[in-house]
A = this chain, B = another copy of it.
Amino acid sequence: MKLLKQKILNEGKVLSDTVLKVDSFLNHQVDPQLMLNIGETFTNLFSSEGITKILTLESSGIAPSTMAGLKLRVPVIFARKRKSLTLVDDLYSANIYSFTKKETNEISVSKDYISSNDTVLIIDDFLANGQAALGLLDIVEQAGASLAGFGIVIEKGFQNGGNLLRERGIRVESLANIASLSNGKVTFK
Chain B hits for A86, CB < 8 A: 15, 19, 21, 23, 27, 100
Closest approach, in angstroms, between the C-beta of A50 and any C-beta of chain B?
Answer: 18
Interface residues of A in 114-140 (CB under 8 A from B): none
Are B66 and A110 in contact (CB-based, < 8 A)? no
Copies of this protein chain in the complex? 2
Chain B hits for A87, CB < 8 A: 23, 28
Are B62 and A85 in contact (CB-based, < 8 A)? no
Are B112 and A77 in contact (CB-based, < 8 A)? no
Interface residues of A in 71-90 (CB under 8 A from B): 73-78, 80, 84-88
Chain B hits for A63, CB < 8 A: 62-63, 66, 76
Task: Tell whether A85 pairs with B100 under 8 Å between CB atoms, given A24-B113, A28-B80, A30-B66.
Answer: yes
Interface residues of A in 11-52 (CB under 8 A from B): 15, 19, 21, 23-25, 27-33, 35-36
Q: Give the residue of B73, B76, B110 whose beta carbon is less than 8 angstroms from that of A23.
A: B110
Q: Does A70 contact B (CB under 8 A)?
A: yes
Q: Give the residue of B25, B30, B35 whose beta carbon is less than 8 angstroms from that of A78.
A: B30
Q: Does A59 contact B (CB under 8 A)?
A: yes
Task: Tell whether A77 pairs with B28 under 8 Å between CB atoms, given A15-B86, A23-B112, A101-B84.
Answer: yes
6 new A-B contacts at CB < 8 Å, known A29-B75, A32-B75, A84-B101:
A15-B88, A28-B87, A28-B110, A32-B76, A36-B70, A63-B66
Enumerate 19 A-B pairs (CB-CB under 8 Å) in ascending A order.
A15-B88, A19-B85, A21-B86, A23-B87, A23-B113, A28-B110, A30-B66, A30-B69, A30-B76, A30-B77, A31-B75, A33-B73, A58-B58, A59-B59, A59-B78, A63-B76, A66-B67, A84-B101, A85-B101
